[in-house]
Chain A
């Protein structure tokens, strides 16, 4: 079946450091790919998405490129802030059934 694997956390960084969170997936067909973020005490929020190969999703300084050849969708941000501290989830969606399959989440802690 479909699955998403992302790097385990926690990832601890200093403010203004570069952030990368690796995500790879296994799926048949052509899924859409997403990054969701969960701030403390809040629900999941869509951070960015890409719907086809080579698409780049971007939002709030975060970027991820849909790489079909490596089945990856790594999340990057060039300069993190304390406010970026959260749990980040990579997910894929197959149009048939509209079912999101999530990775296990990566906790990021940014220290001042």
Chain B
């Protein structure tokens, strides 16, 4: 079974430019998460989707970040415009919720460098 797929794996952009990250969750997983991982720190949740609905976006900086999960499968996270402080790894995870199973499966991440 394929795991969570993310692309690109690496991205270098200049500040003020837009950037987008793509995530394909594990087939059948209804819940999708985007996490931000700064260097030397643990991941922090940005947004959680249940199917198409964003059920927790309280940590998403909405002035410059946006996300969508059309059709409840793939998801895209966008930053516009990017700032130097956005340099980090952006992780996508998915889970199949129900029956008390909350295990989240993580993708390899996209490493963003803003210059």
Contacts and interface: CB of A to CB of B under 8 A. Distances in A.
Contacts of A82: none
Main secondary structure of the interface of A (DSSP, over half): strand
Interface stretch (B12-20, B39-47, B68-76, B78-86): B39-47
B53 interface: no
A44 B91 CA distance: 9
B31 A46 contact: no
Interface of A: 4, 32, 36, 41-46, 49, 89, 91, 93, 95, 97-100, 102-105
A104 B37 CA distance: 10
Contacts of B45: 99-100
A99 B35 CA distance: 11
Given A93-B102, A98-B48, A98-B102, A43 B43 contact: no
A91 B91 CA distance: 16
Contacts of B56: 97, 99
Contact of A89 (B3, B42, B102, B109): B42
A102 B56 CA distance: 17
